[in-house]
Amino acid sequence: MVKQAVLKYAIPDVAVTVPITVPTGAQIVHVGLQHDEIKLWIMHEFNQSDTVPHTRQFIVVGTGWPIDQTNPRHVGTVTDGMFIWHVLEVD
Beta strands 37-45 and 4-11 are antiparallel
Check residue 3 and give its pLDDT: 86
Q: For 18-71, what is each residue's pLDDT tens digit? A: 999 998 889 999 999 999 999 999 998 876 666 788 999 999 999 999 999 989
Number of domains in the chain: 1
Check residue 40 and give its pLDDT: 98
In which domain, by residue range, is 43 found? 4-90
Check residue 50 and give its pLDDT: 65
Residue 10 CB partners (closer than 8 Å, separation 6+): 37, 38, 39
Check residue 70 and give its pLDDT: 87
